[in-house]
Structure 1
Amino acid sequence: MDLTRRSFLAVAGGAALLAATASAASPAVRPVPFGVTVPWGPLDRAALAARVAAWGSAPRYLLWYASFREEPDVAKLAAVAATGAVPVLTWEPWDPSARNQKRYALARFLAGDFDAYVRRWGDALAAYGGPVHLRFAHEMNARHYPWSVGVNGNTAAQYVATYRRVHGLLRSRGATVARVWSPNVSFTRSTPLAAVYPGDAHVDVVGLDGYNWGTAVRGQVWRSPAQVFDATVRELRTVAPGRPVLLSETASTEKGGDKARWVTDLFAWAGAQPDVTGLVWFDEDKETDWRVASSPASAAAFRAATTL
C-alpha cells in the first residue's frame, strides 16, 4: 500500500469512525465529513477561522483552484494541512484569462508540450510529501472547458490518455497524490462516463460535481439532492465499482425553493450512501449565491448538519 492509499484510507477511516459513533447514538444518522471551497485563499487563516466559528465545526476538506499559468505553491498545501484538513487541489489545464484556449487542446498535452511544466509540479509535490487530493481536469464530460470532450477537437480517448499521462509524469517525479477523477453529473448530451474513465489503476477517488440551479437559470427547475445525484451515482457504481465517492463540488441556489431544507436533505442523502465519503460545498457567490451564508436559514441548516 503506497502513501496515496494510506492517506486516503486515513480520511475514509475517520469517516467510518464517525459513522460508527453516530450509529451507536442514532442508527438513522451517518455524519458525512464536509469541506468547502476557499475563495479567500488557503493562506487566509482568519477568513477560515471566522467561517469555522459560524459553522460550529472544522471542515475535513478545503478545495481551491490552480490554472496551468501558475507554478506550484506548497505553502498553500501546508497551510491547509496545518488546519487538519485535506487539501483538494483542482488543477485546471488552461489559462482562464485568455480568449483563445486552443493551446490547451488535449492533443498538445499528448504531444508533450506541457511535460516540463507537469514535472515541475511533480517535483514540488514530491518535496512537500503530505496528503493531497489532486483533481485534474474536472467536468470533462460537460462541454464548458477547453479540456472537455467535444471542445478544441478533444475526444474521450484523448482525455483518458492525457489524464494518465499527467499522473504518470507526476508519479515519475515521486509525487504520491490521491488521484481524483471528477466528472459533472450526467445530463442530456453529456459524454458517457464509461468513455472518459481512466481505469481503476489510475483513480483513487471518484469526485462528482452537481448543483441545484433552481430557477436561477432559465429553463432549470428546483431539484432535490436525490434528483441531482441519484442517476449519476448509479452510473458511477457501474463504471467504477467499489471506488470511494467524494461530492467534490455541490451547492444550491436560494431561487425557486427552500435552500435550508435542501442543505438538510443533502447531508441526509449523502449519509445514506455507503460509498459517499464526503462532500465539498461550493461556498462562492458566482452564477448565483451558492454560499452557505446566503441566508440565515441556510447557514443554520448547514451548522445543524455539520455538528451532528
Structure 2
Amino acid sequence: MRLPKLLATVLAALCLALPASITAAGTPAQAAPAAITLDPASGPAGTTVTVTGTGFPKKSPGTLSAGANAVPFTASASGYFTAALVIPESADPVVPVTAASGRVSASAPFTLTYSSPSAADPAPEPAPAAAPEDGSATSTAPSAPQPGTSLLRFGVGTPGGPLASAELDEVAALAGEAPSVILSYKDFNQAPPLAELEAARSRGAMVLLTWEPWAWGGGTSQPAYALDRITAGDFDPYLRQWGQALATWGHPVMLRFGHEMNGNWYPWSEQLNGNGPGDYVAAWRHVHDVVASTGAANVTWVWNPNVPYWGSAPLTALYPGATYVDAVALDGYNWGTSASWSTWVSPSQLFGQGLAELRGLAPGKQILIGETSAAEQGGSKAEWATSLVGYLAAQGDVTALTWFHFNKETDWRINSSTAAADALRSALAARRG
C-alpha cells in the first residue's frame, strides 16, 4: 500500500534528521567518557600533583584547576594529556581537581592530609640502611616517600636498568629513598620491555623509557634509520608492535623518543645521517600518531633535548608542538674539568637557559630532568648535589630529577665519593621537609 505523499515526505525528513551517531541497531555510539587520575591523590596543601586525563576532545586546549590554581593543557591526538598542578590551601578536607575542555570535563578528589606542610609533623622515617663497605647491595631498600611529602621525584639510571634489583637497592640505600623513576634504554631492534615496566611498577616506580631510533653500535651514519625513512613508514609495523604492547600492558609509562636531538652525537640529529631541517619534527609526529592509533593512551610522550650549548640546534625548530608532547625534559651534566673542553658549572648555570626555553616552548607542561650528574674533578661534587636538589625543588614545574648512576666517561655515580653520596642523601631528605 502506498503512503500518502505528505506522510512519506515527513518520514523522509525525520530520517535525514537522525544523528549520525545512531547505529543500525538504533543505539547511540558512545565515546569513552573523559576521566582524570591524580598522582599522588592525597597529601598536604602545596603538593604538586601529576594529573593524567583521557577521553578529552582531540588536539584541543583545556584548563586544569584546583581551587584558585589553574594551568592550561592540550589533549593529544588520542585525547590524552598530562599536566602538573599545585594543590592550594583549603578549609575542606577534599579539594576537587577538574579538567575541562569545551563542554567536556572530568573531576577527581585530592584528599588533604593536613592544611600545610608545617601544620603537623609527619611520623619519623626509619633510618636508611647503610651501604655495605664492600660495595655490595643491601637486601632491603628503604621505602619511597609517602605521597605528598615531596614536590620533586627522585629517579635513577643504572647500567642494568629496571630489572637490576641489586643496583636499585644500592641506590635506594645511598639516596635514603627508593627511586620513583627508573631509566631504561632501547634501540629500534628491541621488543617492548614489558618485563622491565612491570618490575619498576612492582617497586612503586615508573619507567622513563628511552626509545632510540638506531641500531646500537652502528655509529652516527645509519641511512636505514634516517629520519625521513621513519616518516615514510619503513618502521610502522614495529611502531604498531610497541603501541599495541604498551596499550595491552595498560599502566603509565613515560616514553622519550629520540632524546638529545639538538646535539650532534646521535643519528637522529638533523645535522647527521642525511637528515635535514624539519625531519625530526616530522618523524616525531609520525611515531606519535602510529603508536597513538593502537590505543596506547597510557603513554606520556616526553620531549627531551640536551641543555642548549654553543653550536647546538635551536630548540624552536625541533619542538613537535603541544598536541604531540605531554611533558618536556632536559639532560645536563656538570663535566667539571674531567674533559679538556669542560669547566665547572653550577646547577643554575647548567639548567637555567634550558628551563627558560622549555617554558617558552611548552607553557604549562611538566618538566623533568631526564639525566644529570657531576664529575668529581674541578669542584665539590657534594656541594653541587646539595645545590642541585635545592635549585630544582624550588622550580614549581620541575617534577623529577633522574641521576645518571654510571661510571662511564667519568665517575657519574652517586657514590663516586662518600661526601657526594652523603650530600645527595641529606639534600633529598631536606626537600621532603
Question: TM-score under structure 1 normalisation?
Answer: 0.92
Among candidates 136, 145, 150, match of residue 266 of structure 2:
145
How much has 1:44 moved relative to structure 2? 2.4
Superposed, 1:95-134 pairs within 5 Å as: 95-99=215-219, 100-134=221-255
Asked whether the equivalents of residues 136 and 181 of structure 1 are also in contact (C-alpha less than 8 Å), the reply is: yes
How much has 1:155 moved relative to structure 2? 2.6
Q: 1:203 to 1:63 in 2, by over 3 A?
A: same
Asked whether the equivalents of residues 333 and 372 of structure 2 are also in contact (C-alpha less than 8 Å), the reply is: yes
How much has 1:271 moved relative to structure 2? 1.3
User: Relative contact order (C-alpha < 8 Å, sep 6+): which is higher?
Assistant: 1
Asked whether the equivalents of residues 174 and 414 of structure 2 are also in contact (C-alpha less than 8 Å), the reply is: no
Among candidates 321, 325, 333, match of residue 199 of structure 1:
321
How much has 1:306 moved relative to structure 2? 1.7
More strand by share: 2
* Secondary structure at the counterpart of residue 97 of structure 1: coil
Q: Distance in 2 between matches of 1:130 and 1:110?
A: 27
How much has 1:181 moved relative to structure 2? 0.3
* Secondary structure at the counterpart of residue 156 of structure 2: strand
CA deviations on 1:232-264 (whole Å, 9 max, x unpaired) are: 111111111111110111110001100000000
How much has 1:46 moved relative to structure 2? 2.9
How much has 1:273 moved relative to structure 2? 1.1
Q: Percent identity, aligned pairs only?
A: 47
Asked whether the equivalents of residues 212 and 223 of structure 1 are also in contact (C-alpha less than 8 Å), the reply is: yes
Asked whether the equivalents of residues 253 and 288 of structure 1 are also in contact (C-alpha less than 8 Å), the reply is: yes
* 4+ residue segments displaced more than 3 Å: 5-12, 14-18, 20-26
Q: 1:76 to 1:265 in 2, by over 3 A?
A: same
How much has 1:210 moved relative to structure 2? 0.7
CA deviations on 1:253-303 (whole Å, 9 max, x unpaired) are: 001100000000001110121111111111111111111010000100111
Asked whether the equivalents of residues 39 and 64 of structure 1 are also in contact (C-alpha less than 8 Å), the reply is: no
Superposed, 1:1-308 pairs within 5 Å as: 6=37, 12-13=48-49, 22=117, 31-99=151-219, 100-176=221-297, 177-308=299-430
Q: Distance in 1 between matches of 2:332 and 2:184?
A: 17
* Secondary structure at the counterpart of residue 49 of structure 1: helix
Letter in structure 2 aligned against 1:143: N
How much has 1:47 moved relative to structure 2? 2.6
Moved more, 270-279 or 38-47: 38-47
* Secondary structure at the counterpart of residue 392 of structure 2: helix
List runs of 5+ in structure 1 lacking aligned partners: none
Letter in structure 2 aligned against 1:41: G
CA deviations on 1:33-90 (whole Å, 9 max, x unpaired) are: 1100031231122332232122211112111101111111201100001111111100
* Secondary structure at the counterpart of residue 161 of structure 2: coil
Q: 1:46 to 1:165 in 2, by over 3 A?
A: same
Q: 1:223 to 1:23 in 2, by over 3 A?
A: farther
Q: Distance in 1 between matches of 2:240 and 2:198?
A: 20
Asked whether the equivalents of residues 164 and 198 of structure 1 are also in contact (C-alpha less than 8 Å), the reply is: yes
CA deviations on 1:165-212 (whole Å, 9 max, x unpaired) are: 111111111112000000011111111111111111111110111110
Q: 1:9 to 1:239 in 2, by over 3 A?
A: farther
Q: Distance in 2 between matches of 1:205 and 1:38?
A: 23
Asked whether the equivalents of residues 259 and 305 of structure 2 are also in contact (C-alpha less than 8 Å), the reply is: yes
* Secondary structure at the counterpart of residue 233 of structure 1: helix
Q: 1:156 to 1:36 in 2, by over 3 A?
A: farther
Asked whether the equivalents of residues 185 and 211 of structure 2 are also in contact (C-alpha less than 8 Å), the reply is: yes
How much has 1:224 moved relative to structure 2? 0.2
Structure with higher Rg: it is 2
How much has 1:31 moved relative to structure 2? 4.8
Moved more, 149-158 or 179-188: 149-158
* Secondary structure at the counterpart of residue 162 of structure 2: coil
* Secondary structure at the counterpart of residue 72 of structure 1: coil
Letter in structure 2 aligned against 1:33: R
Q: Distance in 1 between matches of 2:379 and 2:218?
A: 37
Q: Distance in 2 between matches of 1:2 and 1:215?
A: 52
